[in-house]
Amino acid sequence: MSRALRSAAGAALVAAGLFLPLVGARIDQAGSAIFLTWHPWPVLLMVAGVFTARLAWLRAPRWRPAPLPRPAGRIGARVLIGLALVFPLLPGVQRYQLDLGVLVLTYVILGLGLNIVVGLAGLLDLGYVAFYAVGAYVFALVSGAFGLGFWTCVPISFFAAAICGVLLGFPVLRLRGDYLAIVTLGFGEIVRIILLNFVSLTGGPNGISGIPRPTLFGLGFGAGNGAGSFAGFFGLPASSLYRFGFLYYIVLGLALFVAFVTHRLRRLPIGRAWEALREDEVAARALGINTTRTRLSAFALGAGFGGLAGAFFATRQGFISPESFTFMESAIILSIVVLGGLGSQIGVALAALVMSGGFELARDFAEYRMVVFGAALVAIMVLRPRGLAGARAPSVTLGPPARIDPGLLASGRG
C-alpha cells in the first residue's frame, strides 16, 4: 500500500507541476494594465483526480483487454459503413454535422494510407503530410492550368503523390527506426518550404484560390437553383446542403475504395511481404522477399492514398496554402494510426472519429477542452495499449493456431 501511495503522490506532483502554469495561471487585462491572476481550485481538482486515478489503477486487479475477434471486427465494420451511408439522411443533420463528417472521413483516408507504411510495413513516417500537400497542389495546378474536372484530376494527384513516395523511398532503403523517422520528417519540411518559397508556381504564402468544385455529370452545386445547377435540374429548392451532402458522399466513396484496396492487398503476396518486413526484415530477406521492392511499394501506395485525400481537400476548401500542411497534421495522422491500432482498418476509422469528432465535442469545456481531450486519449492508451482495435495476427494462416503448453514455455522449450 505504501508503494502505491508513493507512486500516486509522485503522479500528483508531476500533475501539479504541469497544471499550475497551464491551468492555474491566467493573464488578465484591465485597460492598459496587464496582470497575472491565479486560479488554484481547478488545479487542486485535477491533481486530486490524478492522485485518485493513479491509486485506483495500482490497487485494482490487473486487467488485460482481450483482442478484438475477427467476426466482431467484421460486424463492427458493417455497422460503421451502414451508419456512414445514412448519416446525411438522419433528422437534425445540418451543415456543421456534414462538415464534421467530411473532416472525419478525410482523416480516415489519410490514416488508412499511413497505416500501410507504419502499420503493415513497419516503416515510421513522420512526413506523411508532404504527400497530402502534393496531392492538393497537383490538383489545384492541373485543374487551373488545363481546365480539367475533379474526376480527371484525382487520378493525376494519386500518381503524382505515389511518384513522390517512390522518390522518398529510394534514399531511405537502408534506413530504419529513428533514422528513417528523421529523414521523413525532413522530407515533409522540405516540401512545405518549397511550397512556401516557390511563389511563381504555388503562390507562396498566399496559396492558390479559385479551385473548381466537383460536379455531378456537369451539374453544379451552387447556392442558387438556376440552369445547370443540381437543384434547378431536379426542381428542388435552393440549398447549400446539397453541396455538402455531395462532398460527404464523395469522400465516403474514396474512403471505402481505399479500405477495400488495402483489405484485398493484405491477402495478396505483397501484403504478406509487408507484414513479414514489419516483423523481421532479416527473416524476410532469408525467405527470398525483395525488401527493396516491398519498401517502395508501401511508400508509393501509402503516398498515393495521401494524394487522394489532398485532392479532395483542395476541391472541398477551394483554397490551399502551405499553412494547411504543417508537421502537426503528420502528428495527428500518426496519432490516428497508433491510437486505432497498427495494421487495423476499423481501428483507424474509430480513432479518426475520436481524434476529430472528440476534439469538436470537447469544445463545450471551453479553455479546459485540451486538458479533457488529452486525459481521454491517455485513458484510452492506458486501457487499450495496443490501440482501440489493435491486432498483430497475420492476415493469412495455413491453419488454426496451435496452443503451446505452459509447461514448455516455463522450461524454455515453447
What percentage of the chain reaches a pLDDT higher than 90? 23
Which secondary structure element, helix H or strand E, spans residue 26, and what is its range? strand 25-30
Question: Quick one: three-class SS letters along 190-258?
Answer: HHHHHHHHCHHHHCHHHCEECCCCCCECCEECCCCCCCCEHHHHHCCCCCCHHHHHHHHHHHHHHHHHH
Place of cell 530477406: 285
Give the pLDDT of residue 78. 84
* Strand, helix or coil for residue 69: coil
- 173-177 contact pairs (CB < 8 A, 24+): 173/292, 173/295, 173/296, 176/123, 176/281, 177/124
Residue range 107-123: average pLDDT? 91
Model pLDDT for residues 44-80, shown as the tens digit of each residue: 888 888 888 888 877 766 555 555 565 666 777 788 8
Across 80-84, 283-287, 310-314, 373-377, least confident range: 373-377
Model pLDDT for residues 183-233, shown as the tens digit of each residue: 889 999 999 999 999 898 888 889 898 888 887 777 777 666 566 666 666
Instruction: Answer for the pair 117, 129: CB distance below 8 angstroms, yes or no.
Output: no
Domain coordinates in residue numbering, the chain: 2-59, 75-383
Check residue 89 and report its DSSP letter.
G
The grid coordinates listed for 227 are: 440552369
Which distant-in-sequence residues (6+ apart) come within 8 Å of 389 by Cβ? 68, 73, 76, 340, 341, 344, 346, 347, 350
Rounded Cα distance, 3 and 5, in Å: 5
Give the pLDDT of residue 414. 47
The grid coordinates listed for 307 are: 494524394
Model confidence at 180, in pLDDT bands (50, 70, 90)? Answer: confident
Instruction: Answer for the pair 325, 313: CB distance below 8 angstroms, yes or no.
Output: no
Rounded Cα distance, 177 and 170, in Å: 16
Q: Examine the pLDDT at 257 and tell me if it is beyond 70.
A: yes
CATH number of 75-383: 1.10.3470
Predicted TM-score (pTM) of the model is: 0.82
Q: Examine the pLDDT at 313 and tell me if it is beyond 90.
A: yes
